[in-house]
Amino acid sequence: MNSRLCHWLVTAFLSLVCWIFTCTLVLGVPAAIADDYTRATLLNADLSGRDLTDSSFTSANLRNSNLSHSNLEGVSFFGANLEGANLEGANLANATLDTARFTGSNLKDVVLEGAFAFNTKFQAALIEGADFTNVDLRRDVQLLLCKGASGVNPVTGRRTRETLNCD
């Protein structure tokens, strides 16, 4: 490889590293890089306000963690434990939530549009203002959620009861 091309590649790489460093540490803006937290133990973790787009939390233990106001679009929570977690105002659009446990979780004002949640547990979850548009739910789970459904999502403007197709 000639020295000019080598110099250009090194400069480009260092520029990218500096940009990521500046975004994450100096500006306080988390970089949007998908992370793999598969089977991780993240009890009481503070992941609030982060961009975790397309990250994997498959079979992770996030009990009592704070994911409020995070961008979790396209995230996999397949089989994850989110009991007592705070997801208020988070974006879970197109996320995989199948077999995840949201028991006692705060899902206030969450956008779940297009999420796959067929075998997800939502017992005692706060869903005020949550948007369940086009979420794949079992009928018994839908009926359970309709019992506590209220509010309007502040991002989409949709009523929770309507997005769940409550009677």
SS (H, E, C) the chain: CCHHHHHHHHHHHHHHHHHHHHHHHHCCCCCCCCCECCCCECCCCECCCCECCCCECCCCECCCCECCCCECCCCECCCCECCCCECCCCECCCCECCCCECCCCECCCCECCCCECCCCECCCCECCCCECCCCECCHHHHHHHHHHCCCECCCCCCEHHHHCCCC
- Summarised one tens digit per residue, pLDDT across range 123-145 is 999 999 999 999 999 999 999 99
Hey, where are the domains in the chain?
1-29, 32-167
- Summarised one tens digit per residue, pLDDT across range 11-35 is 555 454 444 554 444 444 444 457 9
Asked whether the predicted pLDDT for residue 155 surpasses 50, the reply is yes
pTM of the predicted model, to two decimals?
0.80
32-167 is a CATH 3.40.50.300 domain? no
pLDDT, residue 13, reads: 52
